[in-house]
Amino acid sequence: SYELTQPPSVSVSPGQTARITCSGDALPKKYASWYQQKSGQAPLLVIYEDNRRPSGIPERFSGSSSGPMATLTITGAQVEDEADYYCYSPDSSDHLWVFGGGTKLTV
């Protein structure tokens, strides 16, 4: 089965830049999306197709991808950004979609 690997935790001070990585064998050819999940809430899509931001998502959220790694960057992280973040992408067959294990961001 296919796996996406994320670091369990990332910690930054308010105003600093937070970077969360996601690695997977199919990422060189497949887009990654990113979700934010705050405690007790449903997930929220913050980035799709590697670097596109849905309407209403602050500009401090950005995404990039290079080779087998996708990265979510929060420039000037705020206390309200503290949450679990998950990457999401299909395997090479496009018949199986997978979430990464999640990264707890502490601000």
Partner 1 sequence: EVQLVESGGVVVPPGGSLRLSCAASGFTFRSYTMHWVRQAPGKGLEWVSLISWDGGSIYYGDSVKGRFTVSRDNSRNSLYLEMKSLRTEDTAFYYCAKGREGITGTIPDHWGQGTLVTVSS
Identify which range of 12-20, 32-40, 60-68, 70-78 contacts partner 1 by CB under 8 A. 32-40
In order, the DSSP letters of 53-106 are --TTS-TTEEEEEETTEEEEEETT--GGG-EEEEEEEE-TTSS-EEE---EEEE
Whole-number minimum distance, CB 63 to partner 1, in Å?
13
Binding residue (CB under 8 A) for partner 1 from 75, 76, 102, 106:
102
What tokens were used for 91?
A: 């395997």
Whole-number minimum distance, CB 92 to partner 1, in Å?
14
Ramachandran angles phi, psi of 105, nearest 5°: -95, 125
Quote the DSSP letter at residue 15: T
Q: Going residue by residue from 37 to 76, which x/- string records binding to partner 1, judged by CB under 8 A?
A: x----xxxx--xx----x----------------------
Nearer Cβ to partner 1, position 60 or 99? 99
